[in-house]
Amino acid sequence: MPEGHSVHRIARQFARNFVGETVAVSSPQGRFAEGAAQLDGREMTDARAVGKQMFLEFTGGLWLRVHLGLYGAWDFAGEITTDATIRSAGGRMGQTNQRGTSLDDADGEDSVRSIGAPRRARLRMAESEKEDDSDFVFPPEPVGQVRVRLLTDTAVADLRGPTACEVILAEQVQATVDRLGPDPLNDDSPEAGERFVAAVRRKPTPIGLLLMDQSVVSGIGNVYRAELLYRSRLNPHTPGKQVPAETAAALWEDWAYLLGLGVATGQMMTMDGLDDDSYAKAMSSRADRHWVYKREGLPCRVCGTNIALETIGARKLYWCPTCQA
């Protein structure tokens, strides 16, 4: 499932290439024909992400809400850019202000490159991003079960397999956002951090589940959950109400840092202090990028204990039984 950095990157793609343009909206698959008819011919006026939810605003007070879920993906084509450091409608950039990597990601976990000026290309954006520079005719024919096609004179975006795709009004957007936990790319105020800490510390639920609860904090998925807990040396089974306030506050700050880094680089990079060669390896291969995620049975990079794998909340959890005891 795409995590928060991916959805923010997709929103930035729309902000750069679709906001301010009149959009032809269709449903090649047919399942979104009624919604497409409501949006067709309107100008896109805003694109924003909150955690794993994305909202596209159109003239007339209509919004398209999309949640990619486990299988959803956006395919972009035309004169597009994969530069994640562009400013979104809200003006916020990735915290590191770094350009994305130009290294190939062999695992396909994240983006393969980040470029500046728009050019004619194809780009698939979901949990992973893959770019295709092959020649093609614009607009390309829809391929597969395309729920929604958004088309301008220069760019096209095709949506496949989302968990949620609906036309809603502004008050429904706000109601959805109000049910979500804070997203540090949208609100990095002290109050947002305090809200997260309070939500964690009033619950007996294990912190390993709380970090995946989108009403507690927005955008964290399986990769970031495992890595955040390891970086804090926190046992994933610790009840939220037993997590010290300063530890919970540090978790929030670390999530803000990693999310900003992920948006700026396109990689779920969770290891710090690497030399140039190690950094290059980490940006090109997941095996060199994470502390514990997908490393079950391998020795911990710090203590040598084999990384454990278990299921919690129907999702895989990776952790070190020694460092996180």
If asked whether residues 202 and 164 sit together in one domain, one would say no
If asked whether residues 157 and 193 sit together in one domain, one would say no
Residue 67 lies in a domain: yes
- Is 315 catalytic? The answer is yes
pLDDT digits (tens, 9 = 90+) for 173-198: 999 999 999 999 999 999 999 999 99
If asked whether residues 23 and 41 sit together in one domain, one would say yes
- 159: its two tokens: 């949506």
Measured torsion, CA atoms of residues 235, 316, 264, 72, in degrees rounded to the nearest 10 = -150
Residue 17 lies in a domain: yes
Contacts (Cβ under 8 Å, ≥6 apart) of 271: 282, 289, 290, 291
**What is the residue range of 305's domain?**
182-319
If asked whether residues 143 and 195 sit together in one domain, one would say no
Contact 12, 86 (CB under 8 A): yes
Note the pLDDT of residue 50: 97
What total of structural domains would you count in the chain? 2
Catalytic residue among 120, 201, 315, 316: 315
Note the pLDDT of residue 109: 47
Residue where a domain terminates, one of 177, 200, 219: 177
Tell whether the torsion through CA atoms of 219, 223, 228 and 229 is positive or negative. Answer: positive
Q: What's the average model confidence in pLDDT over 143-157?
A: 94
Domain with residue 283: its CATH number is: 1.10.8.50
Residue 52 lies in a domain: yes
If asked whether residues 241 and 193 sit together in one domain, one would say yes
Measured in residues, the chain has a length of 325
**What's the pLDDT band for 85 if we cut at 50, 70, 90?**
very low
Note the pLDDT of residue 143: 87
Note the pLDDT of residue 83: 53
Contact 138, 156 (CB under 8 A): yes
Note the pLDDT of residue 287: 86
- Is 52 catalytic? The answer is yes
If asked whether residues 150 and 210 sit together in one domain, one would say no
- 324: its two tokens: 């996180």
**What's the pLDDT band for 1 if we cut at 50, 70, 90?**
confident
If asked whether residues 247 and 154 sit together in one domain, one would say no
Q: Mean pLDDT in the chain?
A: 86
Among residues 80, 35, 73, 37, which one has the least CA distance to residue 54? 73
If asked whether residues 37 and 138 sit together in one domain, one would say yes
If asked whether residues 156 and 276 sit together in one domain, one would say no
Assign 3-state DSSP to the chain and report helix, strand, coil percentages, each to 5.
Answer: 30, 25, 45
pLDDT digits (tens, 9 = 90+) for 208-236: 999 999 999 999 999 999 999 999 999 99
Residue 43 lies in a domain: yes
CA distances for 176 relative to 54, 105, 171, 226, 316, angstroms: 11, 34, 9, 26, 27
Residue 44 lies in a domain: yes
pLDDT digits (tens, 9 = 90+) for 38-72: 999 999 999 999 999 999 999 999 999 999 998 89
If asked whether residues 25 and 172 sit together in one domain, one would say yes
If asked whether residues 251 and 160 sit together in one domain, one would say no
Identify which has the larger pLDDT, 106 or 35. 35
Catalytic residue among 9, 16, 52, 289: 52
Tokens 């780009």, located at residue: 123
- Is 296 catalytic? The answer is no
Residue 97 lies in a domain: no
Cα distance between residue 222 and residue 224, in whole Å: 6
- pLDDT at residue 158 tops 50: yes
Cα distance between residue 10 and residue 5, in whole Å: 9
pLDDT digits (tens, 9 = 90+) for 248-299: 999 999 999 999 999 988 889 999 889 999 988 888 888 899 999 999 999 9
Catalytic residue among 3, 109, 127, 129: 3
Tell whether the torsion through CA atoms of 116, 101, 258 and 190 is positive or negative. Answer: negative
- pLDDT at residue 171 tops 70: yes
Backbone angles phi, psi at 268, to 5 degrees: -85, 65
The per-residue b/e assignment along 267-295, b for 16 or more CB within 10 angstroms, e otherwise, is: bbbbeeeeeeeebeebbbebeebbbbbbb
